[in-house]
Amino acid sequence: MVPILVFLLAAFAYPVVQLLWLSLFGKTGTPTLEHYERLFTVPVYFTVLRNTFEIAGWTTLLCIVGGYPIAYFLATTTDNARNSLILWVLLPFWTSFLVRTFAWIVLLGRRGAINSLLESVGLTDAPLALLFNMTGVMIGMVHALMPLAVLTMLSVMETIDRKLMPAAATLGARGGQAFWRIYFPLSLPGVAAAGLLVFITSLGFFITPALLGSPRQTMITQVVIQQVEEMLNYPFAGAIAMLLLATALFVFYLYDRALGMTTLAGGGTQSQRGADERGPVARVFGAGGAILTAMLGRATDGIAIFWEMLARRSAERAPRVSGRLALRLAVAVLLVFLAAPSFFIVPVSFTTDAFIEWPPRWGTLKWYTAIVEHPTWITAITRSLIVGAMTAALAMCLGAPAGFFLARTSFFGKTAAMSFILTPLILPRIIIAVALFYFYARLGLIGSPLGLVLGHTVLALPYVVITIMAVLKNYDQRLDQAATSLGASPPRVLWHITVPLIRSGLIAAFLFAFVTSFDELTIALFISAGVATTLPKQMWDDAILKVSPTLAAVSTLLLVFVTIIILAAEYFQRCVAKPN
């Protein structure tokens, strides 16, 4: 427990605080608020700020509206169906943002897949402008973040007792009333948590607006990158970081007031407060919510009754389950939206054309040969693999003991320690990246693989700790007690009993940490400094210049590689879940 806290304090908290501190001083070292003033008074920055919040807001809304049916379906279907369907959410979740963004370029471009399809069936004469505008950015961002929304909502929905809906039905509630009055209010903490995570994550986005948007969709992170890379203006970058942080904290505060923090930490819907002890905010929401859900219930049932009149449902015949069918259809469409786009990259990587076009002219491997023959790609790939492996190893050394400690003991400040470990997951990454850049610059770690490993470990630790805690939750500790009573010393219990039993979970945690690093761009963007270029950084540099079929080829390789790793991690994790 101590090593992980020391590590996070040194490699994460200290640099971040330092950066924020920096934003309060002028060039001469005197305390000043000039950087903040500049942020709010220079019109360009203000527009960017407004853009950022607007895009983040819409992304959040669309992710939740689209993600809710998926999460609901996954939470209410059979275990087998869920296990196979959830892969369609997990795959895009772990597929590189870069790869997915390239896929949308293939799909949405003037001569992309969607426009050529629309034109070939004669729906449109001229290509629709889907790319390099708000539409493109929204599609890209919603696609990027919906899996996060789905998984967050699912974790809450899975804690809702499945008997409640049948219970409501026997008490006389139609489907609509039962859903809106019972299920929806119970799933609200999940919706709020999803909204929170999606909103905060999208505040820090830059890949999607940079590649799919126009300058009018510039987001605040792009300004940070520009300020640091081109002008080395740390204090101003620090001020922006502070603003992002303040926003994030404010959203957290609102969330906590309304629902309590327990949900976010995976505690389910059971807040400890009674009905009478709720805060004023919660009570207002409660009263308004009850009326709203009742109305929504009536409205839904109205539609259902109308539908039944058309379908003439009776007690003598088995009805067709039309409601569930509609849900299935919606979920199928949404899952295709999530999972399919990445695969459009594949055919493009075999095109004989020099640029990305749909349909591609098949029949060459020259883009793949180009990668193999080009030393920059090979070194980038090798470096990414090495950094990934080292990150995973370091994260395991620090995270596994912490996971054990958190899962097995209760101590004063456990929640605080847990929150601290999870912070890198919910803080906009750009803050960590810039802070580390400034910190490393004075330690001489810029451009070194070690710097990358340390930075990536900060990001990978939350995943490792969460995975290990999840595995240990299902672990019957009486097995350890049995081993002890049979004469095994604690280290031997660990080695002969615990580790073999949770081996699959440990492997899964390792792979998650590896992928986190292997896929990471934000920190690499700063720390690699053009010297220690990783694969995502190389792809980004290329994409800024021109999106070429070479990128499609690299993306295809990456897609295959990450898919294999995720499937492997999933497989191992399921091995743990099974034996009960």
Partner 1 sequence: MASVEDRWPAVHQPKLKTKDLRKTYGLVVALAGASLDLKEGEFLTLLGPSGSGKTTMLMTIAGLVQPDSGEVWIDGRLATYAPAHKRGIGMVFQNYALFPHLTVFENIAFPLRMRGASEATIRQEVARVLELVQLPEVGGRLPRALSGGQQQRIALARCIVYRPSIVLMDEPLGALDKKLRDQMKLEIKRLHTELGITVLYVTHDQEEAMIMSDRICLLNNACIEQIGSPADLYFRPRSVFAADFIGESNLLDASVAGIDGNDVTLNAAAGALLRARLDDGHNVRPGDGVKLMVRPEMLSMLEDGVSADNVLNASLTDVILVGGVTKTYARLADGTLIAATGLTRGPLCGLEKDASVRLGWAKESGVVLSREGPAV
- What would you report as the CA-atom Rg of the chain, rounded to the nearest whole angstrom? 25
Q: How far is the CB of 228 from partner 1 (least distance, A)?
A: 47
Which residue has 């995502």 as its token pair? Answer: 536
Q: How far is the CB of 162 from partner 1 (least distance, A)?
A: 9
Residue with Cβ nearer partner 1 (274 or 375): 274
Task: Enumerate binding residues for partner 1 (CB under 8 A).
Answer: 161, 163-164, 166-174, 177-178, 181-182, 185-186, 269-270, 274-276, 313-319
Q: How far is the CB of 167 from partner 1 (least distance, A)?
A: 4
Q: How far is the CB of 557 from partner 1 (least distance, A)?
A: 41
Q: How far is the CB of 163 from partner 1 (least distance, A)?
A: 4
Q: Please state the φ and ψ torsions of residue 474, each to the nearest 5 degrees.
A: -90, 0
**Count of C-beta atoms within a 10 Å radius of residue 10:** 12
Contact 425, 266 (CB under 8 A): no
Residue with Cβ nearer partner 1 (318 or 486): 318
N residues, the chain: 580
Residue with Cβ nearer partner 1 (122 or 280): 280
Residue with Cβ nearer partner 1 (1 or 186): 186
Q: How many whole angstroms separate alpha carbon 171 and alpha carbon 297?
A: 15
Residue with Cβ nearer partner 1 (57 or 185): 185
Burial class (CB in 10 A: 0-12, 13-18, 19+), 157: buried
**Count of C-beta atoms within a 10 Å radius of residue 449:** 18
Q: How far is the CB of 13 from partner 1 (least distance, A)?
A: 37
Q: How many whole angstroms separate alpha carbon 344 and alpha carbon 352?
A: 16
Q: How many whole angstroms separate alpha carbon 227 and alpha carbon 562?
A: 33
Q: How far is the CB of 271 from partner 1 (least distance, A)?
A: 10
Q: How many whole angstroms separate alpha carbon 546 and alpha carbon 107?
A: 16
Omega cis (within 30) before 15: no
Q: How many whole angstroms separate alpha carbon 471 and alpha carbon 505?
A: 6
**3-state helix/strand/coil string of 488-527:** CCHHHHHHHHHHHHHHHHHHHHHHHHHHHHHCCCHHHHHH
Residue with Cβ nearer partner 1 (301 or 480): 301
Contact 520, 340 (CB under 8 A): no
Q: How many whole angstroms separate alpha carbon 76 and alpha carbon 288?
A: 27
Q: How far is the CB of 313 from partner 1 (least distance, A)?
A: 8
Residue with Cβ nearer partner 1 (185 or 267): 185
Q: How far is the CB of 251 from partner 1 (least distance, A)?
A: 23
Widest distance between CA atoms in the chain = 86
Residue with Cβ nearer partner 1 (273 or 361): 273
Residue with Cβ nearer partner 1 (42 or 169): 169
**Count of C-beta atoms within a 10 Å radius of residue 482:** 13
Amino acid at 470: A
Handedness of CA 95, 99, 102, 107 (dihedral sign): negative
Residue with Cβ nearer partner 1 (30 or 314): 314
Q: How far is the CB of 178 from partner 1 (least distance, A)?
A: 8
Q: Provide the 8-state DSSP code for 25.
A: B
Burial class (CB in 10 A: 0-12, 13-18, 19+), 111: middle
Residue with Cβ nearer partner 1 (6 or 169): 169
Residue with Cβ nearer partner 1 (35 or 181): 181
CB contact set of 31 (below 8 Å; sequence gap of 6+): 24, 25
